[in-house]
Structure 1
Amino acid sequence: MVDRAFKSTLAKMTKGLSPAGLATKGFSWAAHLALSPGKQMVLANKALENNLLLWSHLGEAMLDEKAEPFAKPTNGDRRFQSESWNKWPYNYLYQSFLLNQAWWQEATTNIDGLSEKDEREVSFVARQLLDIFAPSNGVMTNPEVVNTAVQEGGMNFVRGAENFMQDFEQYTSGKKPEALEQFSPGKTVAVTPGKVVFRNHLIELIQYSPTTETVYPEPVFIVPAWIMKYYILDLSAKNSLVKYLVDQGHTVFMVSWRNPTEEDRDLGMEDYRQQGIMDALDVINRIVPDEKIHGVGYCLGGTMLSIAAAAMARDGDDRFGSLTTLAAQYDFTEAGELMLFIRDSEVSYLTNMMWEQGYLQGTQMAGAFQLLRSNDLIWSRLVREYLMGERQGYNDLMAWNADLTRMPYRMHAEYLRKLFLQNDLASGRYMVGDRPIHITDIRVPIFAVGTEKDHVAPWRSAYKITSHPATDVTFLLTSGGHNAGIVSEPGHPHRHYQVQTIKSGDPYVDPDTWREKAARKEGSWWPEWHAWLAERSGERRAAVEPGNTKVGLRPLCDAPGTYVFQD
């Protein structure tokens, strides 16, 4: 108990990162590097070469401000885009930083004997430490800050101090930013009309009102992730996936998850499967009897939907007509940079923190996601708001992202160990009831969506579903990231996607070959998916309002319900 209490307190201070885990990785890297004299020589030569290049460029830049820089930022690094960085002495500062960054990348990779996973983790930690000391973060080393201060007589620092005090007050009080008040569920977001037709301890089930005279008879059942509020798929009227489906004539049901408290600490993965999916399916069957159901799962909701579908297939339950997964994974062997936070040491450490609280706080999880893109989501934001004195306006997607939820202790511990660490689902060891399930038991058609810039569920990981041996899988890769790639309404500028169906029994095609051969299409992927659903949803018939009074299912309240308002 003493150890657990101590680690719980320490974990809050380190944001869930295990000092022991980090120290072990650092020692392993240092030990392997010490035993690699050839690698040391390469690094020494690289350091000398970088210094010669830097001083050579320095001489050119002092004579010509338009001298071409030789060190280029990595893709997605927008810190040094301004022309002011090409003037002395800022060109020297940022070129020196980029060369140092490249040297450390070389120093932490391709070391004989060091595992690929350890290399990724040490390289990641090195990037985080380097980003702290980037010249863009300094008052006097960032020319954009200096120029703004000169032009405004330092008023940017006054605004920045006000921004800092506002943020500090909100953090200590737990209040949300005032700018988020304009994005209120039921008023400006989550506004698609509907009714809550069922409620249990874990979910409210929303059925949306039809907007067409006729509808497809087979309903669409959406299971969002419970990491955040459900309305990522029902944002504003202009970019609501739910509204789009309803307007195309689909009968849509949506799960709205409860925001758990300390009292829910013992809710596990099986509770989420049973109360979140199976109970909802039973209600949908009563409202729309004798019809197949098209299951749709987003992120963690897609993983749970796959678990439920595999268990149902194992037990002879054939209620699903198709499955769609949106930025979801079932095989976690290549789960991307998020795996950097998930090892036995980190999971044990995090579990101790959750044990005391009874849950994982949303801010603790958000911090891990921000670290995956720290130069953009942390440091650039701090420079913009506290040094430049600017406030970035919120949009509906950003407001949703700030509407944080919690994760029950037991569920999240099981999720991390069984899925991430042990990969039980992909290996046929995941237990539902007293028997294991396997994803290959699913026989209905699958439509899987991956997003190009996904840091949470990398598209190559989501692509693994295409190796399913017993059913056709249509895989679609769309532009954008984990959230913005899914919220990709028709008319959204600069959107494109690739799509191709891999038939059951076709030879395996690796993801990069698939990407090279799949035809590219411009625009939103939503119409492509709607057409796929429509082909499998039967002949349209007269629309009916939510609920079914014949079987005693009267609406409980208007959408978006009550659970979405739980803080």
Structure 2
Amino acid sequence: MDERGSVDTPRDPVLNYIIDNPEAFAKNLAKMVEHANEALQAYAKPVQQGEIKADYSDEITEWMRTLSRVGHYWLADPKRTFEAQARLANDWMSLYSFAMRRLAGEEASPVAEPEPGDKRFRDTDWSTVQFFDFLKQAYLITTRWAEGLVQETDDLDEHTRQKAAFYVRQLSAALSPSNFVFTNPELLRETASRSGENLAKGMKMFAEDVARGQGELRLRQTDPNQFRVGENMALTPGKVIAENELCQIIQYDAATETVAKEPILIVPPWINKFYILDLNPEKSMVRWLTEQGHTVFMISWVNPDETHADKDFTEYMREGIFFGIDTALKAADADTLDTVGYCVGGTLLAVSLAYMRRMGDARVNSVTFLTAQIDFRHAGDLKLFVDKEQLEALERKMRAKGYLDGAAMASAFNMLRANDLIWPYVVNNYIKGKDPFPFDLLYWNSDSTRMPAANHAYYLRNFYLENNFAKGELIFDGVAVSPKDITIPVFNVATREDHIAPALSVFEGNGLLGGEAEFVLTGSGHIAGIVNPPARKKYQVWTGGDASGTLKHWMETAKETPGSWWPIWHEWLGAHRSGERVPGRKPGGAVFNAIEAAPGRYVRQRY
């Protein structure tokens, strides 16, 4: 006999949703209200102190303008209106019929089922309890109907259609019944079994995250107290040997007695911090390179503020890449080096290499691009945020502050995968009241950086909006440059599931280069596909395909190899070097004194 009945009596599923301790539930609700007031105070504090809060009016206007075009199309013609309404009504009637048959105890096939891999509806009660099954199917029917309306709106240009589809997906993700206590069986059971303690703790976390964001919600995706840069992240030994207003140059300690004569300079993105390539000893590309006998230099970009507002692409080239090349060659006592550019760092590096060739500068031996775009025709969902109207609005905001806040970029990236990077954490943190799992990659993802106004505006306008470099129409520091100016050997890495630099975009750009260009495709996405140490034996890599046709044709003719692409790259580097070895180098060589230990203070800057 248990407290609810005999062991012979099946437990009524409804009992799973009944609160065991009403008194404790009432106390937890009171705590939740108390923490809600704290959240309101944290939200209002910047205004009370005279600080200007983020203005989202331009974004809201853009949403309304785009979605209203879809609505106008379907409402302008009574026949189209009736057809759209009839389609939805027919599906709802089918759902009603399904529900009635289930109530009568008959077998019935669902009207709508989640897509494979949709994690929101994994709980068995979404299917076994009719109330939740009805909610789930009603949601799926309605959202798919709305998405269909966007696709069938005939008078939209393709960019506007993609924007409308993106906005509908965001609304669909936000309104999912899985996000609310009373419409999610798992959350209801959690609340009942814990007498609302989860709601009180979740609201406390919500208030803390609003306060941490200085009036804006700073969603935590991992436990921020578990990670410290320089303590359990970015641990490869080295020294900062030079610095200027925009960056520090790190040289890492040699890990072998002799090293390749040609050093490597890595140009990471300034949109994120460089230590994604030195996350921890097991995942560090930097450490692995030093263990293979390479001398590695890293650019560590400053986290800019209003004093960097006028730093543009040209200055990032001169004070970043050129400063890094000069420093590395002097410290290594070498004549040439190999370069690596990751994401937007690769875009800047590509333009800089084209410029260097036009200037007759031959100090770079080869370049490796990691998920870097030079042709932005197929640049993925990030293009949705860049058109003439949105860019003008963004430029106004950046001019007012001198920079784009890092949280804005982080939000944009998270919105691309809202059902993976936003709503699961909202549910886990603020409704379940559970601390997120410590995950180094997500900590790095949340360690956002600002973008100087001039630099970011130049990048968005000349690449995402006008694609000038691929067209051969980019005027850079007074010089016309194009991808065909890059004639040194290129190792060009794309990732198969990349939503930031899609494989097609990287492949198309590869065909524009002016010399030997080895296209390589890896499994997984923008980060995991790159940060894939050989010891982990994860994913796969495709090489050697026929690049004369489409990406699909390249895939059909490429060789697939299990595991990491790093060893293939190492062999490629060896084949494009002199083969000479020199004694392992000390950071700074005979030219520079160490300023501080790696990873340096620039990467620790947070705002």
Q: TM-score, normalised by structure 1?
A: 0.91
Which shifted more, 492-501 or 233-242?
492-501
Q: Which runs of 5+ in 1 are unaligned?
A: 1-8
Instruction: Report what 1:154 is aligned to.
Output: 196
Which SS does the other structure have where 1:108 is aligned?
Answer: helix
Aligned to 2:289: 245
Cα deviations by residue, 1:282-320 (Å, 9 ceiling, x for unpaired): 122223345432111111100000011111122222222
Aligned with 2:205 (options 160, 163, 188): 163
Aligned letter for 2:98?
A: H
Cα deviation, residue 192, structure 1: 0.4
Instruction: Please give the per-residue CA displacement for 1:139-169, whole angstroms capped at 9, x wherever unaligned.
Output: 1110011122233333222322332233233
Moved more, 532-541 or 302-311: 532-541
Q: Which of 84, 88, 106 does residue 148 from structure 2 map onto?
A: 106
For the pair shown, the structure with the greater C-alpha radius of gyration is 2
| 8 Å CA contact 2:486, 2:513 repeated in 1 | no
The number of aligned residues is 553
Give the gaps of 5 or more residues in structure 2: 1-50
Distance 1:500 1:374 in 2: 35
Name the SS for the 2:520 alignment partner.
strand
Residue of structure 2 in register with 1:273 after alignment = 317
Equivalent residue number for residue 30 of structure 1: 71
CA distance in 1, matches of 2:474, 2:329: 27
Instruction: Determine the structure 2 residue equivalent to 1:553.
Output: 592
Q: Is the 8 A contact 1:191 1:234 kept in 2?
A: yes
- Given that residues 204 and 255 in structure 1 are in contact (C-alpha distance below 8 angstroms), is that contact kept between their aligned partners in structure 2? yes
Q: Counterparts of 2:189 and 2:574 in 1: how far apart (Å)?
A: 57
Aligned ranges 1:174-185 → 2 under 5 Å: 179-185=223-229
**What SS does structure 1 have at the residue aligned with 2:121?**
coil
1:389 equivalent among 415, 433, 436: 433
Alpha-carbon distance between aligned partners in 2 of 1:22 and 1:548, rounded to the nearest angstrom: 52
Maintained 8 Å contact 2:544/2:557: no
Letter in 2 for 1:155: E
Q: Residue 51 of structure 1 is aligned with which of 92, 106, 110?
A: 92
Indicate the larger mover: 533-542 or 137-146: 533-542
Where 1:172 maps in the other structure, the secondary structure is coil
> How far off is 1:447 after superposition?
1.3
Distance 1:11 1:459 in 2: 38
The aligned amino acid for 1:133 is: L
**Offset of residue 334 of structure 1:** 1.6
In the alignment, the residues of structure 1 paired with residue 314 and residue 364 of structure 2 have an alpha-carbon distance, to the nearest angstrom, of 19
Query: Secondary structure of 1:169's match?
Result: helix
Percent identity for Structure 1 against Structure 2: 35
Aligned counterparts of 1:180 and 1:92: Cα–Cα separation in 2? 38
8 Å Cα contact 1:11-1:350 kept in structure 2: no
Q: What is the CA–CA distance in structure 2 between the aligned matches of 1:283 and 1:73, rounded to whole Å? A: 55
> What corresponds to 1:141 in structure 2?
183
**Structure 1 counterpart of 2:605:** 566
Equivalent residue in structure 2 for 1:520, among 556, 560, 566: 560
Match of 2:532 in 1: 488
Counterpart residue number, 2:170? 128
Local SS of the residue matching 1:419: helix
Secondary structure of 1:271's counterpart equals helix
**Which deviates more, 449-458 or 74-83?**
74-83
What corresponds to 2:471 in structure 1?
Answer: 427
**Structure 2 SS opposite 1:256:** strand
1:431–1:55 CA distance, 2 compared to 1 (3 A): same
Give yes or no for the alignment of 1:313 onto 2:357: yes
**CA distance in structure 1 between the partners assigned to 2:66 and 2:505 by the alignment:** 25
Residue 116 (str. 1) matches residue 158 (str. 2):
yes
C-alpha spacing 1:320/1:73, structure 2 compared with 1 (3 Å): farther
Tell me what 1:94 maps to. 136
Equivalents in 1 of 2:284, 2:517: separation in Å?
Answer: 25
Secondary structure, counterpart of 2:54 in structure 1: helix
CA distance 1:159–1:203, change in 2 (3 Å): same
1:442: which partner in 2? 486
Mapped to 1, the partners of 2:361 and 2:400 lie a distance apart of 39
Q: Distance in 2 between matches of 1:38 and 1:120?
A: 25
Give the structure 1 partner of residue 258 of structure 2: 214
Aligned in 2, Cα 1:43/1:176: closer, same or farther, shift over 3 Å?
closer
Question: Equivalent residue for 1:409?
Answer: 453
Equivalence for 1:6: none
What per-residue deviation string (whole Å, max 9, x for no partner) do you get for residues 441-472 of structure 1?
11112111222222221221122123136323
Write the distance in 2 (CA, Å) between the matches of 1:56 and 1:450.
48
CA distance in structure 1 between the aligned counterparts of 2:105 and 2:324, rounded to whole angstroms:
68
**2:196 & 2:106 partners in 1: Cα distance?**
27
Q: 1:476 aligns with which of 520, 544, 549?
A: 520
Quick one: distance in 2 between partners of 1:97 and 1:272?
Answer: 48
TM-score by length of 2: 0.85
SS at match of 2:255: coil
* Contact in 2 for aligned 1:210/1:543 (Cα 8 Å): no
Compared CA separation, residues 39 and 521, structure 1 to 2 (3 A): farther
Change (3 A) 1:42 1:450: farther
The alignment partner of 1:275 has SS state of helix
Rounded to whole Å, the distance in 2 between the matches of 1:116 and 1:11 is: 34
In structure 2, relative to structure 1, the CA distance for the partners of 1:65 and 1:216 (3 Å cut) is: farther
